[in-house]
């Protein structure tokens, strides 16, 4: 039987006299997580004894918070899919996703997703968890994806994302010759009214900001590096099309599918603060073969 995800804390002098409920809140455990613990099989103990949240903390108390076991939804089936693991610890995974793989299942592609592969991996590892994908990528975008192994970990990373603390760097091939060495596209993005997939620049949309830097100019296209100050769906693709330089292969937004059979976009680096190891972490993934072949030509 898989062990519950459990966090351990030791109360310090500054915590003396706090109600346990306040102590737990200070550790960024959400109200919904506490409700889940109360009704779905978790527990909270102090010095090995289960207590309620009105317990008064004393300096030196050892507080354990055990979360309920997580069960994947009925429609989420585990599959034995090879995963390119870049990093793993007891809290997170960083995976290099290939192009052509959905991050989560869709109506058109109900199987073969990264999420299906993760469930299968967890089942084989004896981990009681469902999928918590922090940084999603489009089906045909390759590169690094950050995954939390528990809903509480996902909650912490979501807060970090909203504060701009999860940083991703992309590389892409944009059609034509981009004249400026550096640039910024700052336009709001919304879903097109007649599509469930396509996005567009729209004054009624959400604020979006993309920074780009030219790495090299080649025949017919420009190799660029991009950083997102926001994380809207299709943001890079929409913004580059807006300035007249759609990504190679991105036919949805006006790109030409000749040199490559998908949008030439790769999440090259990811950087974040690990909330449990208490340190900055950074990972990188080289360009995939199809993009390297375009450069070689």
**Burial (Cβ within 10 Å: 0-12, 13-18, ≥19) of residue 121:** buried
Write down the mean pLDDT value for the chain. 93
pLDDT in tens, 224-255: 999 999 989 999 999 999 999 999 999 999 99
The model's pLDDT over 12-34, given as tens digits with 9 standing for 90+, comes to 999 999 999 999 999 999 888 88
Domain regions of the chain by residue span: 6-66, 168-266
Please say whether the beta carbons of 19 and 53 come within 8 A. yes
Please give the full DSSP string across 136-168, using - where no structure is assigned: ---TT-EEEEEEESSHHHHHHHHHHHHTT-SEE
CATH assignment of 168-266, among 3.40.50.1450, 2.120.10.30, 3.40.309.10, 3.30.2350.10: 3.30.2350.10
Inter-residue contact 286 to 267 (CB < 8 Å): no
Overall average pLDDT of the 98-114 stretch: 89
Rounded to a whole number of angstroms, the distance between the first and last alpha carbons of the chain is 53
What is the structure's pLDDT at 3?
63
* pTM of the model as a whole: 0.91
Q: Over the stretch 54-72, which tens digit does the pLDDT of each residue have?
A: 999 999 999 999 998 888 8
For residue 133, pLDDT over 90 is answered with yes
Residue 76 pLDDT more than 90? Answer: no
CB-CB contact of 261 with 249 (8 Å):
yes
Identify the CATH class of 6-66: alpha beta
- Provide the token pair at 33: 């997580």
Whose CA is closest to 99, among 230, 248, 238? 248
**Cβ–Cβ < 8 Å for 6, 60:** no
State the burial class of residue 102 (Cβ atoms within 10 Å of its Cβ: 0-12, 13-18, 19+): buried
Least confident window among 97-111, 164-178, 229-243: 97-111
Residue 4 has pLDDT above 80, yes or no: no
Which are the catalytic amino acids? Answer: 138
């Amino acid at each position: 039987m898989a062990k519950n995800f459990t966090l351990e804390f030791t109360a310090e002098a500054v915590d003396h006299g706090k109600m346990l409920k306040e102590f737990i809140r200070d550790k960024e455990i959400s109200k919904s997580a506490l409700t889940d613990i109360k009704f779905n099989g978790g527990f909270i103990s102090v010095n090995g004894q289960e207590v309620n949240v009105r317990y008064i903390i004393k300096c030196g108390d050892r507080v354990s918070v055990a979360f309920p076991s997580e069960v994947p939804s009925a429609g989420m089936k585990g599959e034995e899919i090879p995963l390119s693991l870049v990093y793993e610890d007891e809290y997170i995974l960083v995976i290099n996703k290939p192009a052509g793989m959905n991050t989560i299942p869709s109506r058109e592609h109900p199987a073969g997703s990264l999420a299906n592969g993760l469930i299968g991996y967890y089942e084989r590892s004896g981990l009681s968890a469902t999928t918590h994908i922090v940084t999603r990528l489009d089906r045909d975008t390759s590169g690094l994806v950050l995954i939390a192994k528990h809903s509480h970990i996902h909650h912490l990373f979501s807060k970090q994302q909203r504060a701009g603390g999860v940083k991703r760097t992309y590389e892409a091939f944009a059609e034509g010759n981009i004249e400026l060495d550096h640039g910024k596209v700052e336009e709001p993005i919304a879903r097109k009214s007649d599509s469930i997939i396509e996005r567009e620049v729209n004054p009624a949309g959400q604020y979006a900001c993309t920074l780009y830097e030219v790495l090299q100019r080649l025949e017919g296209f420009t190799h660029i590096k991009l950083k997102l100050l926001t994380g809207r769906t299709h943001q890079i693709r929409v913004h580059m099309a807006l300035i007249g330089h759609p990504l190679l292969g991105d036919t949805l937004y006006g790109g030409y599918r000749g040199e490559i059979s998908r949008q030439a976009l790769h999440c090259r680096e990811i950087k974040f603060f690990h909330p449990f190891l208490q340190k900055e972490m950074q990972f990188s993934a080289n360009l995939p073969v199809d993009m390297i072949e375009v450069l070689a030509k």
